[in-house]
Amino acid sequence: MGLFSFIKGQFIEVIEWTDDTNEIVHQFPVYDKAIKMGARLTVRESQAAIFLNEGQIADVFGPGTYTLSTQNMPVLTALKSWKYAFNSPFKADVYFVNTRNFTDQKWGTTNPIMMRDPEFGAIRMRGFGSYAFRVQDPALFLKEIFGTQSSFSSDQIGGYLKSVIVSGVSDLIGEAKIPIMDIAVQYDELSSALRTKLEPIFNGMGLSLSGFFIENISLPEEVEKMIDRKSSMSIAGNLDQYMKFQAAESLRDAANNPDSGLAGAGASLGAGMAMGQMFNQAMKPSADAVEPQSAAPAHPASPVDTEPCAQCGHGLKPSEKFCPECGTPRLEKKFCTECGGSLSSTMKFCPSCGNKV
């Protein structure tokens, strides 16, 4: 075997990549970039092979098996100015691009998103979910994102894609103006709209957004507590009935609590008395339940009763509007707002119930 034959045998004859990593792009290791003309190229499903000549994209091969020659490498043949069949080795960079779906990619808001809600006003919102993408145009992806690195994984582009997604989420939710209380039932619609909105941006990088999902949109903890309190008030409805129910529940819990010695018996007895008082108070009808017509004046005025004049003290009959002695106008009668009792103009407290006038 001559020296030339020995050197010729050292060049790569089989070019293939078995994908067992999370790489998007993998550079095939070629010593001194020398590839034998007539070598076999194997491109598996969900792969693409790209040949670069001095940093310029030459030929792109899809899935299949190829024997490298000037016939199936037209761009590289033109770049090398090969006019005739050429069987000597040539130099080129070979990159394999993984075109499968990269699923379960996570996105989430690093900082809260400010938005205006029609019910709660200005609120801070957080969201997270997942998405999937794949390389749609290998040549464009190499030009726009990859460059000439030896390898490229999904983690290296994940941060940028996450920023693009969060920006799109913030913009779309702000434009949709969906109340935060109704946004949970719109997850599917928002996910579909966001995928449509972000797809052109991904296409510009040679990628395709094959899936997008919103898993949760939440509010700060203090806002969620306020919503919980408001919901509790709505569920309680009639507070008077709610207090009666609470009193009955407390009595039941006290009755089910076993005694533990004299101290426990005393504590249970005291708690029972306190809860009994609370129960009696709760069971009393509220002031609003008293019918207005049942509250009659405590001391109805008699037709023969007289009222002293505020100026001279002369007794005024019920029919007299002015004092016959000094001409002072008669003061209008007042009634207690609590019990309905009659009040004079000089009284500061109701003589029937003690209510302050």
DSSP string, 192-207: HHHHHHHHHHHHTTTE
Extents of the domains making up the chain: 3-98, 102-219, 294-357
Residue 3 has pLDDT above 90, yes or no: no
38-52, 153-167, 327-341, range with the lowest pLDDT: 327-341
Model pLDDT, residue 259: 56
Of all residues in the chain, what percent carry a pLDDT higher than 90?
26
Do residues 197 and 168 lie in contact, with contact meaning Cβ atoms separated by under 8 Å?
yes
SS3 content of the chain, % helix, strand, coil (to 5): 40, 25, 35
- Tell which wins on pLDDT, 143 or 290: 143
pLDDT in tens, 105-116: 999 988 888 888
- Cβ atoms of 354 and 298 within 8 Å: the answer is no
**pLDDT at position 218:** 86
Structure confidence at residue 100 (pLDDT): 92
Report the alpha-carbon distance of residue 100 to residue 252 in Å, rounded. 64
Summarize pLDDT for 232-252 with one digit per residue, the tens. 666 656 566 666 666 766 766
Of the ranges 41-45, 303-307, 342-346, the best mean pLDDT one = 41-45
* CA distance linking residue 166 with residue 163, whole number of Å: 5
Q: What is the mean pLDDT of the chain?
A: 78
CA–CA dist 250, 274 (Å, integer):
10
The pLDDT assigned to 201 comes to 94
Q: Which residue has the tokens 């490298």?
A: 68
In this model, does residue 291 exceed pLDDT 60?
Answer: no
Query: Chain-centre distance of CA 284, in angstroms?
Result: 45
pLDDT confidence tier of residue 8, bands split at 50, 70 and 90: very low
Cα distances (Å, whole numbers) of residue 223 to 17, 83, 88, 218, 230: 53, 74, 73, 10, 11
Q: Name the residue type at position 86.
A: F
Residue 270 and residue 261: Cα distance in Å, rounded? 14
Higher confidence at residue 313 or residue 194?
194
Q: What pLDDT was estimated at residue 265?
A: 45
Query: CA dist 133 to 58, 158, 190, 199, 222, Å?
Result: 25, 10, 18, 10, 36
**What is the token pair recorded at 306?**
């007289």
What is residue 265's three-state secondary structure?
helix
Joined tokens for residue 129: 């979910």
What's the rounded mean pLDDT across residues 148-162? 84
Q: Which residue has the higher pLDDT, 55 or 103?
A: 103
Query: How confident is residue 4, by pLDDT bands cut at 50, 70 and 90?
Result: very low
The pLDDT of residue 21: 77
**Could you tell me the pLDDT band of residue 6, with boundaries at 50, 70 and 90?**
very low
Alpha carbon distance 354, 347 (integer Å): 11
Q: Mean pLDDT over residues 187-211, rounded?
A: 93
In the predicted model, is pLDDT for residue 130 greater than 90?
yes
Q: 96, 138 in Cβ contact below 8 A?
A: no
CA distance 161 to 132: 11
Residues 6+ apart with CB under 8 A from 238: none
The predicted structure's pLDDT at residue 213: 94
When pLDDT is averaged across residues 270-284 and rounded to a whole number, the result is 57
What gap in Å lies between CA 189 and CA 193, rounded to an integer? 6
- Averaged pLDDT, 2-19: 65
- Considering the entire predicted model, what is its pTM? 0.60
Q: How far apart are CA 159 and CA 234, in angstroms?
A: 43
| Lowest pLDDT segment from 160-164, 174-178, 262-266 | 262-266
Does the pLDDT value for residue 210 go beyond 90? yes
Query: Has domain 102-219 been given CATH number 3.30.479.30?
Result: yes
pLDDT value at position 83? 67
